[in-house]
Structure 1
Amino acid sequence: MDAIGTGAAANVSSEAAKGIFHQVKRYIRYVIFYQKIVDKFEQKHRTLIAKRTSVQQAVDVAERNGEKIKADVPDWRHRVDEVITEKEKKVKDLEVKAKTKCFFGLCPNIKSRYQLSRKAEEAAATFDELIKDCQFERVGYPDVPVPIVHPDFEAFKSREEVFDDIMESLKDATTGMIGLYGMAGVGKTSLVKEVERQLHEVKLFDSVVRAIVSRSPDIKEIQDQIAYSLGLKLEENSPVVRARRLCERLRKEKNVLIILDDLWKKLDLEEVGIPFGSRHKGCKILLTSRDQNVLSNGMDATKTFALGDLENEEAWEFFRKTAGDSFESDEQLRSTAIKVAEKCARLPLALATVARALRNKSLFVWRDALQQLQRPYLEKSSNEISAEVHSAIELSINHLSSEDLKQIFLLCSLLRRDTRIDNLLRYAHGLGLIKGVNTMKAARDRLLKMLSTLKESCLLLDSKSANEEYFDVHDLIIL
């Protein structure tokens, strides 16, 4: 037993001796090689500073490109700033003490050198860890674009009902596709932009994206517009592959609204890559078009809403606000301005275009503009005051499906306001514009069908008298 106890005690003593030896060795190392340890600290310190500068430069570039900075980047920079401030101060303070000799300058300050070496080595190790953590492949990522706020949107009283109906329909789980239609320049795009803005505020959908389709739709361009709003980059050339990728991305959105603005004909949603109906029940679509038929029959919209002209009072207020108050003090100028506004026929695009063109202009300019606006439509389209408005209307006319339909429309424009359908029938039949019919009843049915098509295209209006035997023509397109 004594031998065993003696052996155990010897082992303990041996281990203790080893521990003491390692501590003494480490102490001596810190004292003797303190300058190398401090030099390593300085080198790691310079490397970390350079890394921090490089990261800041990359962050500046990413922010200039509109990217969002990844969360771990500012966190790393914050840790670097804290560590550098803390460690740098401690090491610098000890470095001053380490250079001070003791015993009247005859011996180095061994204690301070030891402390300095330990702190410098600890700091260098911390710096090294931060340098290793700085392996950012990218500091930023493309952010989903924030929708542009349109402060110039005019909340016209006459549009509130349509606006509210659209918002309520979007909340209705049974309504998947909604359409808004109206003639060129009536304000369809402005209204859906406001819908988009408010939906972003109320968070009814996880994502709201908008794409302009236009008269000659480019599938790739439509795909790019939707993808950009979702933060998705489509680099493939194949429309089929792009459609598949876009579809996969949209299906990740629990609730998404896609606004397709300015449809002229049926758009194949599958070709674009928009999952709809049974493919994605959380996807709703809001469409705008000049033609109700495109929405109802072409796209099978669940609900469609018509957007008409402004009320007389709000049209004048909008015109006055856009043109400025320069004519308020001149009765003759004000009288001319009222007539000019009337010729814009309560159409927002016409009112805004003409008012901006005449803002702060002299009386003779207003009078000349009035003369231009009083000319027949075919002459109006060539004048500078209303060129933008009439070119938009002209597109609608040119888009009519047949030459017979265009001829009937031109005849309607010649007959002007609140014309009896029977009178139109006599003129159309006499001019041979209704072809392929043998009886007046068949001719009337054909004419009624063409008038219906023109109304769906928003080129003709129902009579203000609410009499089905009459039709009306918009002021801006009277020949």
Structure 2
Amino acid sequence: MEPLCKVADVIMSPLFNFVKQQLKYFINAADNMRDLESNTRRLIAKEKDAQVVIEATERKGKTPSHQLLGWLDEVEATKADVDAMVEKYKERFLCLNCFSPNCWSNYSLSKTAAEKLVEVRRLLEEGEKLSPTQAALTPAQSLAREEPMLPSSPNPNLEEALRCIKEDQEVGMIGIWGMGGAGKTHLLKQINNFLKGDSAFEPVILVTASQSCTTETIQMQIVTNLNLQQSNDATEQRNIIFKFLKNKSFVLLLDDLWARLDLQDVGIPFPLGVVGECTRKVVLTTRLETVCGDMEVRRTIKMECLNYDDALKLFLDKVGTETINSHPRIPSLAEDVVKELEGLPLALITIGRSMYPKKDPKQWEYAINLLKKSRLHEVEKHSPEDLQNSTFYRLKFSYDNLKSDTLRECFLSCSMWPEDFLIKKEEDLIKCWMGLGLIEVFDHIADAYNTGHELIGDLIGACLLEDHEGVFPSVRMHDVLRDMALWIVHDQGKNKNKWMVFEHEAPRDQEIWHKAERITLIESKIEALPPIATAPSSSKLTTLMLSGNRKLRELGDNFGALVALTYLDLSLCGFVHFPKEICGLVQLQYLNLAHNRMPSLPEELGSLVNLKFLILRDTGIHAIPQGVIAKLKSLQVLDLYHSWGTIDKYLTDLASQLLEELECLNNLKGLGICIEDTSQLNRLVELPNVSVRWLFISTLENSTSFSLSTSFLGDKQIQINLAEIRFINCNVTQVVLEGNHQHPTCHLRALETFKIEGLHCLEEIIWKGVVPEELFQALRELYVSGCDNLKSISWVLHLPCLTSLMAQDCSSMRELIADTVEKEEEKEITSTPTFRCLREIYLEYLPEMVSICHSAFAFPALCCIYVHYCPKLKKLPFRPGNIPSKLLVASYSKGWWEGLEWEDSSVKTSIQLFDKEEREVSESKRLIFCVLP
């Protein structure tokens, strides 16, 4: 019996001690929190002592030791954790019911407080051991004291911020904004360290706003910082702060602001700027550009990610030289990791720290593989208790703060494109959002596109997408943000098969094809899909994106088993016939087959009665069975815009047939169509409830003059919605663009692309009663090709939004802008940049071209001039002082560049020449501009 008792003691004693300890957490919650707060205050006092020494020594040209910086880093993180715990504890109340959620929350907080208390005491002990003289061991390399983000580089953001604070008298509010983890807080603390002790500003106040900040919490931080009298009444506290600051020159540094804060309610004296003898400045940081507007910021500083060299320095600093030098392969592997993180300081720091103990190259290879699979969170390996410090959790605040679930879904959908993909705003993204049901198409499709641009603007303003200027307006998703989006989609990594993005080959695992909800294989160079198992009842796949696979010509066996598909994108593939397997997917709502070469549509297409979007642009279709289109009663958008020539004997009949069937489609909001004569055009205008978005006009054999006004300019539906118009192979000698006397304010406000091709008889474009900037308010792209009798297009001078200008195969064109126009307007031109938005000029096969325009013109946004076979063009329109900073000149005409004449030799040396030997160019010369800066 006695041995059994001993065994029982051995078992029960640890269990008893464990239970006893857990009960202490219940009972001592208040004591634990008080002890934690008390020791944290001691730690903060120690931190302030260290900072005083640091600030004094930095002004003497010294920099703190890494040991002291590391201690300060830990203190900063610990303070944030304790503040969050205290805030949570105050929100709860003590209770006697052990099964109350609040009671269990107190237990959890008490336990965490006890554990955090051990950490605080450790930091206090380490702080006592740190000698203050360690703050000045080496000459300063930078102004940074916390994260050595730019250890050997000048910091232009810091310089700009200090200039605005010290020199710009009119600017009172300065905004630093950028994506989470880009270094905004670090920059603000650099400003704080630099200004501390500056006699021009006393005091300098650094406070943290955060998402849940209130007037009262900001006031409390200020009075603590300034050691002012505290009051429980916000109005009285405001008066105390105001009275103290009203006659002082001060700088308020406000970190991590998420919404407008009324600083006058806080007690900050207004107006800001220089007021009499006082200088009042406020510098705020935020992730949201809209906050800068709400706070009436007058100078903004956009925080971009680090360049590769600085990113590598920061990452290596966090990993440590011991690990980096532990194996010959690790330095090159570290470079691969840095490339995956794309310069985001937050990710570089957290991943760098996580790689500190990894001295085996296989561990690094494993981490790189996870990063390539968008599994950054698995590299960090945060414990459940420490998840709030992980990169994804900290970045997710921006996602959570978006104003609607729709906007959050729009953001997540951007992760369906591959890494580093430039997603075209209209052609790719907005169409996708429409097809997924995230944007509703109501009366006018132009309104839907405007909604899409608004959503894109919101995501750019929240630093969740990067805007990319170019011929095709695009956006890009930072790799780390894309990884975070997939992490969110996959239920924080728990459901990895929900959305699948493949970059090289199609998955052969049948479970993926039936359990995944979305699969993407964009530009993956696949030639075929694997056979799909016939298990239609279990298929969950609703979205399949296969665009850009030029060698894909068949969909494979049993493709029709994917019966749940509602969204199918097969654009830019290699189909030479319409894939009939699609016709069995009766749930399909979005079908995109643009840029394939298909002569006809099958009759079975009429079975897709749920189809809302049918995109058949640039397919060369010239045969559609009678009645097929009319059966698609749900159609909202039908795009049959055809720009690769026509087959005349089919086109007239097909256009007439389509016009009849379109009358049966009551829900049609957006139409792309080809028409051949004015009678068809007039009939198109008369169709009720049809909004023409993309219009292709061909032949017009019976007309020598075409007027944009009398044909359709007065029609409201077309005015509002028309975005692209193309004239091709028309035998007209003049195109008349005239004002409408009955509707003098009418204009093509949505028109962005205007193409004139193969109008060999065209001699002039005449403007009557209207000027280009009124008619073409939004025109971005102008293409003139095959117009042999056209001498110039001087009216382009008046297109305010023109981005891309192409002139090609015009055998009589001598100049883009005639010399007479230049002389008349030279005075105005010299004082005002003419082409404010123009990014590219494309000139090809213009044998008589001698001049682009006068050198007095300015091209501030111009990135590229492409010239091919323009033998008489001997001068470029530039002179010292008006050379675009990003200009690249490209030519494939041998000797052309060497034969150019220059009024000033310095102009030639200032222009970069595109070298075809150094850079691979797409087979389509037009695409050269997509890869420019």
Q: What TM-score does the superposition give when structure 2 sets the normalisation length?
A: 0.34
Give the equivalent residue in structure 2 for 1:300: 296
CA 1:375–1:283: 2 relative to 1, 3 Å: same
- Do the aligned partners of 2:253 and 2:284 also contact (CA within 8 Å) in 1? yes
Residue by residue over 1:124-173, the C-alpha shift from the partner in whole angstroms, topping out at 9 and shown as x without a partner, is: xxxxxxxxxxxxxxxxxxxxxxxx99633436277722221111111211
- Do the aligned partners of 2:380 and 2:390 also contact (CA within 8 Å) in 1? no
Q: CA deviation at 1:218?
A: 3.3
Aligned equivalents of 1:473 and 1:411: distance in 2? Answer: 11
Give the equivalent residue in structure 2 for 1:221: 217
Aligned equivalents of 1:155 and 1:65: distance in 2? Answer: 27
CA 1:216–1:381: 2 relative to 1, 3 Å: farther
Give the equivalent residue in structure 2 for 1:242: 237
- Do the aligned partners of 1:418 and 1:470 also contact (CA within 8 Å) in 2? yes
What is the correspondence of 1:387-402 to structure 2 with a 5 Å cutoff? Answer: 388-402=390-404
SS in 2 for 1:283: strand
Aligned equivalents of 1:381 and 1:450: distance in 2? Answer: 32
Which of the pair has the greater relative contact order for Cα pairs under 8 Å at 6+ separation? Answer: 1
SS in 1 for 2:311: helix
Q: Alignment partner for residue 440 of structure 1, among 419, 440, 445?
A: 445
Give the equivalent residue in structure 1 for 2:285: 288
What is the correspondence of 1:107-186 to structure 2 with a 5 Å cutoff? Answer: 151-154=145-148, 156=150, 160-171=155-166, 172-186=168-182
Q: CA deviation at 1:467?
A: 4.6
- Do the aligned partners of 1:404 and 1:433 also contact (CA within 8 Å) in 2? yes
Aligned equivalents of 1:185 and 1:368: distance in 2? Answer: 24
- Do the aligned partners of 1:212 and 1:222 also contact (CA within 8 Å) in 2? yes
- Do the aligned partners of 1:292 and 1:304 also contact (CA within 8 Å) in 2? no
CA 1:379–1:206: 2 relative to 1, 3 Å: closer
- Do the aligned partners of 1:184 and 1:290 also contact (CA within 8 Å) in 2? yes
Aligned equivalents of 1:438 and 1:388: distance in 2? Answer: 45
SS in 1 for 2:196: helix
Q: CA deviation at 1:229?
A: 2.1
CA 1:320–1:378: 2 relative to 1, 3 Å: closer
Q: Alignment partner for residue 331 of structure 2, among 330, 334, 346?
A: 334
- Do the aligned partners of 1:290 and 1:458 also contact (CA within 8 Å) in 2? yes
Q: CA deviation at 1:382?
A: 8.9
CA 1:160–1:467: 2 relative to 1, 3 Å: farther
Letter in 2 for 1:318: L
Give the equivalent residue in structure 2 for 1:375: 373
Q: Verify: 1:450 aligned to 2:448, yes or no.
A: no
CA 1:468–1:392: 2 relative to 1, 3 Å: farther
SS in 2 for 1:203: coil
Give the equivalent residue in structure 2 for 1:429: 434
Is there any run of 5+ residues in structure 2 with no aligned partner, and where?
A: 1-43, 50-134, 136-142, 487-933
Letter in 2 for 1:328: N
Letter in 2 for 1:289: T
Aligned equivalents of 1:278 and 1:264: distance in 2? Answer: 21
Aligned equivalents of 1:468 and 1:420: distance in 2? Answer: 6
Q: CA deviation at 1:455?
A: 0.8
- Do the aligned partners of 1:187 and 1:348 also contact (CA within 8 Å) in 2? yes
CA 1:169–1:379: 2 relative to 1, 3 Å: closer
Aligned equivalents of 1:462 and 1:159: distance in 2? Answer: 26
CA 1:382–1:153: 2 relative to 1, 3 Å: closer
Aligned equivalents of 1:378 and 1:426: distance in 2? Answer: 30
Aligned equivalents of 1:158 and 1:414: distance in 2? Answer: 36
Letter in 2 for 1:250: L
Letter in 2 for 1:191: L
Q: Which stretch shifts more, 276-285 or 389-398?
A: 276-285
SS in 2 for 1:263: coil
CA 1:380–1:467: 2 relative to 1, 3 Å: farther
SS in 1 for 2:253: strand
Q: Verify: 1:359 aligned to 2:364, yes or no.
A: no
Aligned equivalents of 2:327 and 2:380: distance in 1? Answer: 30
Q: Alignment partner for residue 269 of structure 1, among 260, 263, 288?
A: 263
- Do the aligned partners of 1:185 and 1:348 also contact (CA within 8 Å) in 2? yes
CA 1:65–1:354: 2 relative to 1, 3 Å: closer
Q: Verify: 1:420 aligned to 2:416, yes or no.
A: no
- Do the aligned partners of 2:149 and 2:314 also contact (CA within 8 Å) in 1? no
Letter in 2 for 1:419: I
Letter in 2 for 1:391: Y
Aligned equivalents of 1:152 and 1:284: distance in 2? Answer: 24
- Do the aligned partners of 1:377 and 1:476 also contact (CA within 8 Å) in 2? no
Aligned equivalents of 1:345 and 1:65: distance in 2? Answer: 38
Aligned equivalents of 1:468 and 1:291: distance in 2? Answer: 25
Task: Indicate the structure with greater helix content.
Answer: 1
Q: Verify: 1:350 aligned to 2:347, yes or no.
A: yes
- Do the aligned partners of 1:177 and 1:301 also contact (CA within 8 Å) in 2? yes
CA 1:426–1:359: 2 relative to 1, 3 Å: same
Give the equivalent residue in structure 2 for 1:103: none
Give the equivalent residue in structure 2 for 1:79: none
Q: Alignment partner for residue 190 of structure 1, among 182, 186, 199?
A: 186
- Do the aligned partners of 2:215 and 2:261 also contact (CA within 8 Å) in 1? no
SS in 2 for 1:301: coil
CA 1:430–1:369: 2 relative to 1, 3 Å: same
CA 1:357–1:278: 2 relative to 1, 3 Å: closer
SS in 1 for 2:300: strand
- Do the aligned partners of 1:276 and 1:284 also contact (CA within 8 Å) in 2? no
Letter in 2 for 1:338: E
Aligned equivalents of 1:378 and 1:160: distance in 2? Answer: 28
Aligned equivalents of 2:284 and 2:145: distance in 1? Answer: 23
Residue by residue over 1:368-393, the C-alpha shift from the partner in whole angstroms, topping out at 9 and shown as x without a partner, is: 43343333369769953996211111
SS in 1 for 2:200: coil
Give the equivalent residue in structure 1 for 2:568: none
Is there any run of 5+ residues in structure 1 with no aligned partner, and where?
A: 1-63, 69-147
Q: CA deviation at 1:175?
A: 0.5
Give the equivalent residue in structure 1 for 2:315: 319
CA 1:202–1:458: 2 relative to 1, 3 Å: same
Residue by residue over 1:315-361, the C-alpha shift from the partner in whole angstroms, topping out at 9 and shown as x without a partner, is: 11211122112223523323332222222221111111111121142
SS in 2 for 1:163: helix
CA 1:405–1:295: 2 relative to 1, 3 Å: same
Aligned equivalents of 1:159 and 1:427: distance in 2? Answer: 42
Letter in 2 for 1:194: Q
CA 1:392–1:226: 2 relative to 1, 3 Å: same
Q: Which stretch shifts more, 170-179 or 329-338?
A: 329-338
Aligned equivalents of 1:362 and 1:288: distance in 2? Answer: 38
RMSD value, Cα:
2.9
CA 1:194–1:429: 2 relative to 1, 3 Å: same
Q: Verify: 1:474 aligned to 2:478, yes or no.
A: yes
Letter in 2 for 1:166: A
Letter in 2 for 1:434: I
SS in 1 for 2:254: strand
CA 1:408–1:339: 2 relative to 1, 3 Å: same
Q: CA deviation at 1:399?
A: 0.5
Q: Which stretch shifts more, 421-430 or 432-441?
A: 432-441
